[in-house]
Every structure is written in C-alpha cells, then in structure tokens.
Amino acid sequence: MLFDLDGTLTDPASGITGSFRHALAAVGHPVGDDIDLTWMIGPSMRENLVRHGLPADLHDSAIDAYRARHTEVGLYDATLHAGTVELLDALARAGIAIALATAKPIPQAVRTLEHFGIADRFTVVAGAPPDGHIIGKVGIVADALARLFAPGRAAMVGDRRHDVEAGRANGCITIAVEWGYAEPGELDAASPDHRVDSFERLASLLIG
C-alpha cells in the first residue's frame, strides 16, 4: 500500500499555507491572509508557483524560502488524522508492506513521520529528491514501487488527482480519500477506482 502524506494522513493546512505565504513575501509577492491557499496542499511547490503566476526567475528563491521556513516551523504545525495510526497498524498486522509516496522532499517527509511517531510503520519513504531534481508524482510512485520489490498488486491512496493519476500510470489500484484538499469536481474528473469518506471504510477496503 502506498500513501500520500499531506491531506491523506495528516492535516497540514496551517503549516503549508503559512510557509507558502512566507515564501511569496520573501520574493516580493506577498499574499493577503484573506486569500485561500488550500488548493496548493498536495502538488509540488514548483507546480503551485506556476499556477499562482509567480515569475519563473523567482521560483528557486521562493522554493528555498519555503523549505527553510517549513523545515523549521511548518512541519510541526500539522495534525495527524484520527484513525491513521490504527489503519497503519492494521495493515502491518495483515502483513502488508507500506510505503509513503509524497511530493515533499524526502528529508521533510522522514522528519514528519518521525515527529508523529509513525516512521517505523513504513518500509519505504519516497518523495522529491533533496537535490531538487524534478521527477513528479508519477516518478515518486514508481520509485516507491521499485524499492518495495512488490511484483503483486499495489494500491495508491491519496486525496488529490495527482495521486490518482500517478497510481494509475504505475498500474496501481487507485483510492481517493474525501477528507483531503481536492478542489470541487477534482476527484470526479480523476475517476479513481475507489473513493472513501472515512478511515473505517478505507481499512475495510484495503484489508478486506
């Protein structure tokens, strides 16, 4: 089983949007507190900057500012969804290998898992390379699958279309959770194999 992180296992809204506002202000493009930025929870930082319309020559500086603030503050301004630990433990008891497949840089992903005390549940942590090399969510899922050495069926669980598309591109069963940050109509358009609205239903689907 492969899991997305932000929005799927954790609620990182305050930390991520706060770090994004900090990054934009750092490069001279501040955003008011009344502007909703939850749409950018899930995709890569660079994709978000393109959609936001920030000039391309400022992207690297904005990403550096975001990562610095998020590593120091934003990562810890999040909460673990109720039911996450119980689900991961149930999968482990069932003998199912678990991987993280997140757009976060791998060091941030590992630190987040350690902060919440769930790092030991994951066989593999796949994410954006620390050197900034762009592989996208499709590449991240492919990396996770390769490192799991799992030739059988695998499922990708996430809350955004990127998770569904990356899972499908890698031959995974795709499962979308409805408690994350997908925009209106996003999951309808993505057409995952399954959609669930609670951790109880997710556990029943994955283990049953």
Same-domain status, 186 and 108: yes
Same-domain status, 44 and 65: yes
**Total structural domains within the chain:** 2
Write out pLDDT tens, residues 89-107.
999 999 999 999 999 989 9
pTM assigned to the model: 0.90
Sheet holding 194-196: strands in order across? 124-128, 99-105, 2-3, 155-158, 173-177, 194-196
Same-domain status, 84 and 121: yes
Write out pLDDT tens, residues 169-180.
999 999 999 999
Instruction: Name the residue among 119, 160, 154 with its Cα closest to residue 137.
Output: 160
d(CA 198, CA 178) in angstroms, rounded, equals: 8
Are 171 and 146 within 8 A, CB to CB? no
Note down the domain range covering 52: 13-76
